[in-house]
Amino acid sequence: MSIDLNKFFSPSNNSPSPEKISNIQNQTPSIEVPKQTIEFSNQAKYKELLEVFEIIMNQLKTKISPIKFNLYFNDSFEIINIEDNRILFKTKTSFIKNQIEQEYKTLILESILDIFGKNLEVIITSEDAEISKIPHPPIPSSNENQQIKSVKDATFKLDLTPSPEDLKNKAESKYINHVNENYNGIIIDKNKTFNNFIVGASNNMAFVTMQAVSIEPSRPNHPGRYPSIYIHSNSGLGKTHLLHSVANGIYENFGDMNICLITAREFMKEMIDSIQNKTLGTFQEKYSEKVDVLMIDDIHELENKHGTQNEFFHIFNELHNKGKQLIFTSDKSPKEIDGIAERIRTRLQWGLVIDIQRPDFETRMAILKRKAYELDLFLSDDIISLIAQNIKTSIRELEGSLIKLSAYSEVMKVDIDMELVRELLMLHDKKNEKKITIDHVIKATSQFYKIQGVDIKSKTRTKSITKARHIAMYLSQKLTNSTLQEIGEGFGGKDHTSVLHGIKKINDQIKINPALSREIVTIENSF
């Protein structure tokens, strides 16, 4: 298809006549039409604009998943104008604008080339950005008998009554705001405490350690048990929550201590500003002399920032030598951070290094139930189980799923049922997935502990093999729903009382042994 670009433009350097401006203002009194605005009083031009937009949207629909299309384009994206070989679009938020520019601008350009037979410059703005206001084309007069193409997915309407799609997007935006981490690392969140942190086998060591620091932080002449701590995990598993929790705990127990909770990026920005403002001495004094507890989130972001690393090195030494408390978090272990000086890496490993694993099924269930309670959202155990089965990698995403359901229930005035959950969260039952067997569990356990599977099934009673055997029995009951008798048969004909003894022993030990809990979670996550 080819469309004549000349239909969109008035002669260059000619402003609309006073009569045309008057007509436009009478039709849409809320719009102020400045000089040299493109004239859309011609209905044919306006129809062509809608046609262009409809073609672009229809092509995008075929190339983007429905949930992404609804999220970024449906009622969130509109065409504004075509002028000077430019095509202008607008989104509702800067976040949506950035996502479209990063992921979908090429698809939009391909559609434009297909329509016009030539490339146009694509400009995307957002309602919440500080930009020059470009007036919308006036809506054609309703008393004219015409058939203009309808574009369901565009926002060319003055009806202020929210449509179902509008309400869906409102619910979706709450989810986006939750999972998109915009934390700047400066203000301590009073709502993030140890009391509302869900503890499971995957994070109990980090929890217990941070709780101990909040009760007994390291300070001059009063060395704590853990003067330097480094916690690492994948994003969204609770590291930042623990930082806020320990900050709130120290403030409550030691109100006179100066706590600094900051991201590595903000730390670097503050240092750069101090250099530009010639106040580097003040910056150094603040961290070396005035701070009692230094907590830096995402410390890995200092990689390849050698000037900032140098300042951090001296600040670390000063605070450590004075016996003050140091806590760092990262998405990587110290060994995995590239572009960081070896002397920095060594110091990050001086203290206690803890990793947080993905939460197991029971922990995910507990997190969902706690969040549902906070949101005053009633969900059956079947629904919570379905969500916990499908969302495994991020606590933030788990909580975000309930925020989406709660917002949808609120704006659409509906109860949340299983089918609605499947549709909104794009979930599915696990019934058709590969079934985990006792042999799968034995193989995974033997690989983790680097022993032979036949040894686990044998009668050998060495300490290492007995431990692996009991863990495999415990996981077999948890993951396969097998009876004690079936588990015994899978382990070389063991009596069901021996199986029960092994399972009970592991159940007792994981309550007091965080390291064992983490080993079991690692094996379980291998499935």
Amino acid 170: pLDDT: 52
Q: State yes or no: pLDDT of 136 exceeds 50.
A: no
Q: How many domains does the chain have?
A: 3
pLDDT over 90, % of the chain: 25
pLDDT band, very low/low/confident/very high, at 40 (cuts 50, 70, 90): very low
Top-confidence residue, 517 or 164:
517
Report which DSSP code applies to 219: B
128 and 212 housed in the same domain:
no
Output the domain CATH number for residue 56: 3.30.300.180
Amino acid 481: pLDDT: 72
DSSP per-residue codes, 272-287: HHHHHTT-HHHHHHII
Domain boundary among 83, 108, 134: 134
pTM of the predicted protein model = 0.53
pLDDT digit string, tens, across residues 161-178: 455 555 555 555 544 444
Output the domain CATH number for residue 519: 1.10.1750.10
pLDDT digit string, tens, across residues 268-290: 999 999 999 899 999 999 998 88
222 and 330 housed in the same domain:
yes
Domain boundary among 134, 169, 194: 134
pLDDT band, very low/low/confident/very high, at 132 (cuts 50, 70, 90): very low
pLDDT band, very low/low/confident/very high, at 92 (cuts 50, 70, 90): confident
Say if CB 244 and CB 293 are below 8 A apart.
Answer: no
pLDDT digit string, tens, across residues 228-257: 999 998 888 889 999 999 999 999 998 889
Q: State yes or no: pLDDT of 33 exceeds 80.
A: no
Q: Is residue 326 part of a domain?
A: yes
Q: Is residue 154 part of a domain?
A: no
pLDDT band, very low/low/confident/very high, at 511 (cuts 50, 70, 90): confident
Q: Is residue 309 part of a domain?
A: yes
- What is the mean predicted confidence (pLDDT) over 37-62? 72
Q: Is the dihedral of CA 425, 431, 432, 433 positive or negative?
A: positive
Q: Is residue 168 part of a domain?
A: no
Q: Is residue 426 part of a domain?
A: no
Q: Is residue 214 part of a domain?
A: yes
DSSP per-residue codes, 79-117: EEEEETTEEEEEESSHHHHHHHHHHTHHHHHHHHHHHHS
Report which DSSP code applies to 4: -
Q: Is residue 52 part of a domain?
A: yes
Output the domain CATH number for residue 217: 3.40.50.300
456 and 348 housed in the same domain:
no
Environment class of 456 (CB within 10 Å of its CB; exposed 0-12, middle 13-18, buried 19+): buried
Helix spans in 335-427 (H)? 342-348, 361-374, 381-390, 395-412, 418-425
Domain boundary among 308, 335, 355: 355
pLDDT over 70, % of the chain: 79
107 and 240 housed in the same domain:
no
Say if CB 105 and CB 113 are below 8 A apart.
Answer: no
Q: How many helices (H) and strands (E) does the chain have?
A: 22, 8
CA nearest 245: which of 217, 210, 297? 210
333 and 463 housed in the same domain:
no
**What is the domain extent for residue 40?**
5-134
Q: Is residue 92 part of a domain?
A: yes
Q: State yes or no: pLDDT of 126 exceeds 60.
A: yes
